[in-house]
Amino acid sequence: MKNFFDLSFEELEELLAGLDPRPFRTAQVLRWVYTLGADDFRNMTDMPVSMRESLAGLCDLMPLREIERSETRDQTVKFLHILEDGEMIESVLIPEDGHNTLCISTQSGCNMSCAFCETGRNPGGRNLTTGEILAQIVYAIRHSGDRLNVRNLVFMGMGEPLLNLESLQPALEVILSDRGLNFSPRRVTVSTCGWVPGIIRLATEGPDVNLAVSLNATDDKTRSKIMPVNRQYPIGSLMDAVGRFPLKARSRITFEYVLIEGVNDTQEDVLRLQKLLKGLPAKVNLIPCNENFSGFRAPSEEKARAFQDSLYDYGVLATMRKSRGQEIGAACGQLKAGSARKQHD
Ligand code: SF4
């Protein structure tokens, strides 16, 4: 059976035309699925029963099977889903100031091998389809009861999103369309480890969403050590590509910076970082390193705060991200459905 979310609007139109040629049927189905969160065609009560039955036999509205759900005291929820072929992915719903941010995966593993990341520790996996990306969002919306309860989408889960633009771009079209999930582009962020060809392609082809760059070091030697992508695309070429990314008025590129004790947390790093960002509409998101297999640790709170303050002194906007979901392995760099996959094999 076909994953419903793999159908483009045009393909859905074609499919429905074979059942009922009247054009309003497409809008009706899209509203049920994306606005009302329907998970069964049989519940689409304003459509003929025969049509609902036919659709139920053709398309799957529940293509993800949840096999585990964990929740922290602060109500961060991590979903572990199994896909049709046995691959596993995680997505994380993070409550913040009365709304939710959903962190979505684009691959079922990652080959970029960032030294601080659990996902990168389990190379392999595959690109997700457009439908598998969209289904994570719809699933989380159903869980939270209303589309409006999920306010921000961040492509920061498992995988490097810009290595899967084939699936990501059509998914973004549905996410941003008022026929689909109707998110504002300001609420959607694609995060990259620095895959320069992907940044250039997204900048050229769109769609227009926020860009976050996981920077994590201020010199090539250190960055190549903790992020192998830097050997192929060093900081100079990365900053060059980022500098050409089209930005709307008042928007900024976010630079994620995982603070690691003794690796990237010195005052020399502050100095180099502010130089790299000079002239760019940028903000820095400091993330004290989460404890995991890597042996890396976050600097003391005092040192992290001093790093942030020094950036401020140079006029660089820097926020410190509160770590969420650590106790269930849902925090930044902790997603590891790949190892769950091995356990379930
Ligand atoms: S940080 Fe992102 S790009 Fe790097 S290994 Fe982890 S999932 Fe892959």
Domains observed in the chain: 2-60 (1.10.150.530), 65-344 (3.20.20.70)
In ligand 1, the atom with minimum distance to the C-alpha of 193 is 3
| pTM recorded for the entire structure | 0.94
Higher pLDDT, 308 or 251: 308
CA proximity to 193, closest of 238, 246, 252, 225? 238
Omega of the bond leading into 207 within 30 degrees of 0 (cis): yes
Predicted local distance difference test score (pLDDT) of residue 28: 97
Helix (H) or strand (E) holding 89: strand 88-96
**Residue 73, C-beta contacts closer than 8 angstroms, at least 6 positions apart:** 327
Write out pLDDT tens, residues 305-339: 999 999 999 999 999 987 666 655 665 566 766 55
- Give CA–CA dist 66/81, Å, rounded: 4
Q: Which of 59, 193, 289, 332 is catalytic?
A: 332
Active site residue 332: yes
Tokens 């600097």 belong to which residue? 299
Which residue in this structure is represented by tokens 């356990």?
343
Token pair listed for 248: 């709307």
CB 335 within 8 A of CB 90: yes
**Average pLDDT for the chain:** 92
pLDDT for the residue numbered 307: 98
Residue of 112, 224, 225 with the most ligand 1 atoms within 8 Å of its CB, for mutation: 112
Catalytic residue among 87, 90, 132, 256: 90
Give the Cα separation of 173 and 170 in Å (integer): 5
The pLDDT value recorded for residue 74 is 85
Contact criterion met (CB below 8 Å) for 135 and 3: yes
Instruction: Give the CB-side neighbour count of residue 29, counting CA atoms within 13 A.
Output: 29
Say if residues 55 and 19 touch (Cβ distance below 8 Å). yes
* pLDDT-derived band at 220, boundaries 50, 70, 90: very high
Q: Does the Cβ of 158 fall within 6 Å of ligand 1?
A: yes
Q: Is the pLDDT of residue 160 over 70?
A: yes
pLDDT for 330 equals 60
How many CA within 13 A on the CB side of residue 146? 4
SS3 (DSSP) at 288: strand
pLDDT at 342: 43
- 90 given a catalytic annotation: yes
